[in-house]
């Protein structure tokens, strides 16, 4: 007899939940059963305001008609086509549409299914690019402390969040890290990018001097670090990184998995900061988080360096069964249509000052030791409970959910990143929820 008959539909034990306190959750589950625009509905029928765009991905809001219809239509027309040695029209259409909105010079797109896969794809591309040009000694990868680049081995090797690394052995060899740019003693309560810390980019020169540029393939950074609890680049920092990379022939990879697709009020962080990387990793907002998809953008020179050798030969031995899956492509096209019709890729620019004021109105509330903001991203850092790091922020998260707002916490930092359709009234509502939660927790 099938074992399934013994499992009740609401038995929570079989599913090992990702990045979740499983035992706590299963004692007091938090379940969403539907969503529309800015709100989720819970299994007990309550509306919850989405203050985090799901996991930084539902930029156009939930269950948007253009996206839903595109998926329904595609599922009935062409559900799957092999990704290798075969094509289908909308994957090419999507690549062209993406290149059209990408920073100038990012002319080619490689599809993946997640941010983690985009990152590992970009790292492999960087190493293989140098080899294709005859500089095969350039294999070293440089990341940054507190960086988050997903959970695959490449991503955790260049990443710098200790909890994501320490359980998993020696990781990739030949990796070094620059220091993070979080300087609370100088920059606390900065509005937008902080004044102090651009000189931290010079640490890259120190690392180059240690290893020699001829051994270094790429530097990877999040233009704005999100998952570590929102760390902003000091004024001029990214420009300096760009200059140092160019000077030494090192590729600069921007991990735009959360900053891509309008989060800062410009289509990409590269546009916002006026700094163009050589490779740009994206996911999440590319398909509004609805169907898994990632996209790696590369400059023409990088793509073209692979296009040599006999024409019947595969040029890059890399790809995924679901790279450019037709239904994911349809979701992404529906997403891009929605962004365009509603001006969402730049809407954050107009809302950012209001968002900034609302966030900084929390200064002086209990436990708050720093507030940071850029575009439609906000972070409220709380003083940890002595000897119990993360506990205070986790209580805030649970309380906010009970009150009717979805917030996200990492360490003792509350991170906010609402869908880009949020209204000013909903910004007030979200911040009021956070205010009340801060007053209620220990």
Ligand X SMILES: Cc1ncc(COP(=O)(O)O)c(C=O)c1O
Q: Interface with ligand X by CB under 6 A: which residues?
A: 56, 114-116, 119, 148-150, 222, 226-227, 255, 257-258, 283
CA-wise closest residue to 68 among 385, 330, 273, 350 = 330
Nearer to ligand X, 226 or 326 (CB): 226
Nearer to ligand X, 150 or 419 (CB): 150
Residue 237 · residue 197 · CB < 8 Å:
yes
Nearer to ligand X, 244 or 258 (CB): 258
Nearer to ligand X, 158 or 368 (CB): 158
Nearer to ligand X, 293 or 437 (CB): 293
Q: How far is the CB of 264 from ligand X (least distance, A)?
A: 13
Q: How far is the CB of 120 from ligand X (least distance, A)?
A: 10
* 72: its two tokens: 């329904």
Residue-wise DSSP of 367-407 = TEEEEEEETTEEEEEEPPBTTBTTHHHHHHHHHHHHHTEE-
Nearer to ligand X, 150 or 334 (CB): 150
Q: How far is the CB of 417 from ligand X (least distance, A)?
A: 10
Q: How far is the CB of 14 from ligand X (least distance, A)?
A: 22
* 430: its two tokens: 């979200």
Q: How far is the CB of 55 from ligand X (least distance, A)?
A: 6
Q: How far is the CB of 313 from ligand X (least distance, A)?
A: 30
Cα–Cα distances (Å) from 363 to 390, 399, 405, 412, 435, in that order, read 20, 20, 20, 16, 10
Q: Which residue is nearest to ligand X (CB)?
A: 115
Residue 140: its H or E element: strand 140-144
Residue 265 · residue 349 · CB < 8 Å:
yes
Q: How far is the CB of 295 from ligand X (least distance, A)?
A: 12
CA atoms within 13 A on the CB side of 5: 2
Q: Please return the burial class of 380, using the count of CB atoms within 10 Å of its CB with bins 0-12, 13-18 and 19+.
A: buried
Q: How far is the CB of 155 from ligand X (least distance, A)?
A: 6
Residue 433 · residue 405 · CB < 8 Å:
yes
Nearer to ligand X, 71 or 231 (CB): 231
Nearer to ligand X, 148 or 268 (CB): 148
Query: What is the rounded CA–CA span in Å between residue 41 and residue 426?
Result: 16
Q: Which residues pair with 296 in a beta bridge?
A: 110, 281
Nearer to ligand X, 129 or 254 (CB): 254
CA-wise closest residue to 252 among 333, 178, 340, 350 = 178
CA-wise closest residue to 380 among 364, 391, 399 = 364
Q: How far is the CB of 150 from ligand X (least distance, A)?
A: 3
Q: How far is the CB of 146 from ligand X (least distance, A)?
A: 11
CA 217, 223, 227, 228 dihedral sign is positive
Q: Residue 162: CB partners within 8 Å, gap ≥ 6?
A: none
Residue 60 · residue 75 · CB < 8 Å:
no
Q: How far is the CB of 439 from ligand X (least distance, A)?
A: 30
Nearer to ligand X, 66 or 149 (CB): 149
Cα–Cα distances (Å) from 130 to 301, 302, 312, in that order, read 11, 9, 22
* 210: its two tokens: 């240690």
Beta strands in 151-301 (DSSP E): 175-178, 216-221, 251-255, 279-282, 294-299
Nearer to ligand X, 58 or 208 (CB): 58
């Amino acid at each position: 007899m099938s074992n399934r008959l013994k499992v009740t539909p609401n038995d929570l034990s079989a599913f090992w939940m990702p990045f979740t306190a499983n035992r706590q959750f299963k004692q007091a589950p938090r379940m969403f059963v539907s969503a529309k625009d800015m709100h989720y509905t819970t299994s007990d029928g309550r509306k919850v305001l989405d203050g985090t765009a799901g996991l930084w991905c539902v930029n156009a809001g939930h269950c948007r008609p253009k996206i839903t219809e595109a998926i329904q239509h595609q599922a009935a027309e062409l559900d799957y086509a092999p990704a290798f040695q075969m094509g289908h029209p909308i994957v090419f259409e999507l690549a062209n549409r993406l290149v059209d909105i990408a920073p100038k010079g990012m002319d080619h797109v490689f599809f993946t299914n997640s941010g983690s896969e985009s990152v590992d794809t970009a790292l492999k591309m960087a190493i293989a690019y140098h080899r294709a040009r005859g500089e095969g000694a350039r294999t070293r990868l440089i990341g940054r402390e507190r960086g988050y680049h997903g959970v695959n081995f490449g991503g955790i090797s260049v990443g710098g969040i200790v909890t994501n690394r320490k359980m998993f052995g020696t990781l990739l060899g030949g990796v070094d890290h620059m220091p993070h740019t979080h300087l609370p003693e100088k920059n606390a309560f900065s509005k937008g990018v902080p004044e102090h810390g651009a000189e931290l980019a010079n640490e890259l020169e120190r690392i180059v001097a240690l290893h020699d540029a001829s051994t270094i393939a790429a530097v990877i950074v999040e233009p704005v670090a999100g998952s570590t609890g929102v760390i902003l680049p000091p004024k001029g920092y990214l420009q300096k990184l760009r200059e140092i990379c160019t000077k030494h022939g090192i590729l600069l990879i921007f991990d735009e998995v959360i900053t891509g697709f309008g989060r800062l009020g410009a289509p990409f962080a590269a546009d916002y900061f006026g700094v163009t990387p050589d490779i740009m990793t994206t996911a999440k907002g590319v398909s509004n988080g609805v169907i898994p998809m990632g996209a790696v953008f590369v400059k023409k020179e990088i793509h073209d360096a692979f296009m040599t050798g006999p024409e019947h030969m595969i040029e890059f031995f890399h790809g995924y069964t679901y790279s450019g899956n037709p239904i994911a492509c349809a979701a992404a096209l529906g997403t891009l249509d929605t962004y365009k019709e509603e001006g969402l890729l730049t809407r954050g620019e107009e809302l950012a000052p209001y968002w900034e004021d609302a966030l900084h109105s929390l200064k002086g509330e209990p436990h708050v030791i720093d507030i940071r903001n850029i575009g439609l991203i906000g972070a409220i850092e709380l003083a940890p409970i002595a000897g119990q790091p993360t506990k205070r922020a986790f209580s805030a998260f649970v309380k906010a959910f009970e009150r009717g707002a979805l917030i996200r916490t990492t360490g003792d930092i509350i991170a906010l990143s609402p869908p880009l359709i949020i209204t000013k009234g909903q910004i007030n509502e979200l911040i009021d929820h956070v205010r009340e939660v801060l007053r209620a927790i220990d």
